[in-house]
Structure 1
Amino acid sequence: MVDSSRCETDVPTAAGGPVLVTGATGTIGSELIRLLTAQGVPVRALVRRRDQQQRLAGSGVEAVLGDLDDADSLRRALTGCDRLFLLTAPFPGQLDQERRAIDAAVTGGVQRLVRISAGDSNVSTDVPWAKAHAQADTYLATTELNWTVLRASAFLQNFAGSAPAIRRGILPQTTKNGAESWIDARDVAAVAARVLTEDGHDRATYFLTGPQALTMAEIAAVFGRVLGRRVRFVQLPGYVFAAMLRVAGKLSPFTTKGLRIQFAGVVRPGHDIDTTYEVPRLLGRPSRTVEDYLRDHLDIYR
Structure 2
Amino acid sequence: MSATHTVFVSAATGSQGSNLARQLRSIGWAVHTTVRNPDTPAAKTLTGQGVELTVGDWDDEAALQASIAGCDMLFLNLSPSFQNLGSERVQARKILAVAKASGVRHVVYSSGPAAKHIEKLPIWNASSLVGLTLLSKQAIEETLKEAGFEAWTILRGSTFMQNFLAPKVAMYAGLVDTNIWTMALLAGDKMPLVDANDIAKFAAAAFQDPERFKGKDVVVVGDELTPEEIMECLSEETGRKLKFVALTDAEIEAQKAVNPLITAQLALRELKNFMKAEESRSWGIPMATFKEFLAHNKDLVKQTYP
**1:88 CA drift (Å):** 0.4
Report the counterpart of residue 243 of structure 2 in structure 1. 232
How many angstroms apart in 1 are the aligned matches of 2:272 and 2:48?
A: 44
Report the counterpart of residue 92 of structure 2 in structure 1. 98
Higher relative contact order (CA 8 A, sep 6+): 1
TM-score normalised over the length of structure 2: 0.80
**1:137 CA drift (Å):** 0.8
SS in 1 for 2:159: coil
Which shifted more, 49-58 or 25-34? 49-58
Deviations 1:22-69 (A, max 9, x none): 101001111111111111111112212232455532443211122212
Contact 1:119 1:152 in 2 (8 A): yes
Unpaired segments of 5 or more residues in structure 1? 1-12, 244-252
**1:188 CA drift (Å):** 0.6
Deviations 1:277-298 (A, max 9, x none): 354333543x211111222232
Unpaired segments of 5 or more residues in structure 2? none
SS in 1 for 2:210: coil
CA spacing shift, 1:27–1:239, aligned 2, 3 Å = farther
CA RMSD of aligned residues (A): 2.8
**Partner AA of 1:28 in structure 2:** Q
**1:197 CA drift (Å):** 2.1
Equivalent residue for 1:223, pick from 227, 234, 237:
234
Which shifted more, 31-40 or 164-173? 164-173
Report the counterpart of residue 108 of structure 1 in structure 2. 102
**1:110 CA drift (Å):** 0.3
**Percent sequence identity over aligned pairs:** 28
SS in 2 for 1:206: strand
Equivalent residue for 2:203, pick from 165, 172, 192:
192
Report the counterpart of residue 269 of structure 2 in structure 1. 268
**Partner AA of 2:296 in structure 1:** D
What pairs up with 1:71-150 in 2 under 5 angstroms? Answer: 71-91=61-81, 92=85, 93-121=87-115, 122=117, 124=119, 125=124, 126=128, 127=130, 128-145=132-149, 146-150=151-155
How many angstroms apart in 1 are the aligned matches of 2:5 and 2:272?
A: 41
How many angstroms apart in 1 are the aligned matches of 2:144 and 2:244?
A: 40
**1:142 CA drift (Å):** 1.1
How many angstroms apart in 1 are the aligned matches of 2:210 and 2:284?
A: 14
Contact 2:12 2:18 in 1 (8 A): yes
**Number of residue-to-residue matches in the alignment:** 275
SS in 2 for 1:120: coil
Report the counterpart of residue 289 of structure 1 in structure 2. 289
Report the counterpart of residue 219 of structure 2 in structure 1. 207
Report the counterpart of residue 55 of structure 2 in structure 1. 65
TM-score normalised over the length of structure 1: 0.81
Report the counterpart of residue 194 of structure 2 in structure 1. 183
Report the counterpart of residue 301 of structure 1 in structure 2. 305
Deviations 1:221-260 (A, max 9, x none): 22223333321112243488799xxxxxxxxx9xx62x32
SS in 1 for 2:70: coil
How many angstroms apart in 1 are the aligned matches of 2:238 and 2:229?
A: 14
How many angstroms apart in 1 are the aligned matches of 2:12 and 2:183?
A: 29
Equivalent residue for 1:39, pick from 27, 35, 45:
27
